[in-house]
Amino acid sequence: MGAVGFIGLGIMGHSMARNLMNAGHDVTVWNRTVSRADDLAEAGARLAGSPAEVARLNEIVMICVSDTPDVEAVVFGPNGVAEGIRSGALIIDHSTISPAATKEMARRINALDGSWLDAPISGGAEGAAKGTLSIMIGGDAADIERARQYLDAVGATITHVGTQGAGQLVKAVNQILVVVNQLGVSEALLLAEAGGLDLEATLAAVEGGAAGSWMLSNRGPQMIRRDWRPGFTIDLQQKDLRLVLEAADELGVPLPGTALVFQLYRALQNRDLGSEGNHALIKALEEMSGIRLGSHD
């Protein structure tokens, strides 16, 4: 087993660091809110005082933070990774950020004799906890093989999708599919509710056929129970959709469905619901229709 650094212990990163430890790796962690690392330290993780210290102690550093400015801060800010980077080091960024910014940050790390993999993840809090994330990676194949033992500890599907920046663009594709699918699940369950159908029986009837999807099977039951605990919050989903729409604008691609979901989530944020799970999208449709899921229970 090897030594690896991990920066960012949020809802996804904390579980990923834990899975690296469970796989027997020597893990050094850093998080802006230090208390998020307490249980990992008790389990044997080494606590670093800064991202620079993480980089000085480890040839391979994994990052999972919220947005493009956060990655820039932990890598190139004061006491950032770039200040402690070793020659030949490998930075693996699991955050979902701007493809254009990713290419520029990768260029800067390459100039410091380091390597960069953009390796955004999908699978929600459940996938992070179980170590079954889908990881889409941009960068050199040789660097992926260098990192394979660490990637295998956190993900079940690891796909090399192209050069640096390609991983982030594939994540944008992923997020389009996630939110448009969530809109479909929301509309379908709302129609079932309006028609007086048994929602659980309806879900069981359709999820095994052509209409089946991860979102339907994993979020549908939560929606029926009105359980809005997040696998991924509305606020984070909106951040990703902003990146998707920016990339689409740069490429001249119309995304009307994605843009609609962005506006529906914005309406929910205006109701202070941004900390709820992204499956709470249905609440925007409930507001428009006057129909409430579960009203026939």
Decide which of 162, 181, 206 is a domain's last residue. 162
State whether 158 and 181 are in the same domain: no
State whether 21 and 151 are in the same domain: yes
Q: What is the pLDDT of residues 61-109, one digit of tens each?
A: 999 999 999 999 999 999 999 999 999 999 999 999 999 999 999 999 9
Q: Is 171 a catalytic residue?
A: yes
Q: Domain holding 273: CATH number?
A: 1.10.1040.10
Among residues 30, 28, 100, 37, the alpha carbon closest in space to that of 64 is found at 30
Residue 190: inside a domain: yes
Q: What is the pLDDT of residues 279-294, one digit of tens each?
A: 999 999 999 999 999 8
| Distance separating alpha carbons of residues 295 and 292, to the nearest angstrom | 6
State whether 282 and 187 are in the same domain: yes
**Given 103, 171, 239, 283, the catalytic residue:** 171
Residue 279: inside a domain: yes
Task: Give the count of domains, the chain.
Answer: 2
- Segments forming the whole domain that contains residue 220: 169-289
State whether 143 and 262 are in the same domain: no
Read off the pLDDT of each residue in 175-181 and give the average, rounded to a whole number. Answer: 98
State whether 131 and 204 are in the same domain: no
Read off the pLDDT of each residue in 29-38 and give the average, rounded to a whole number. Answer: 96
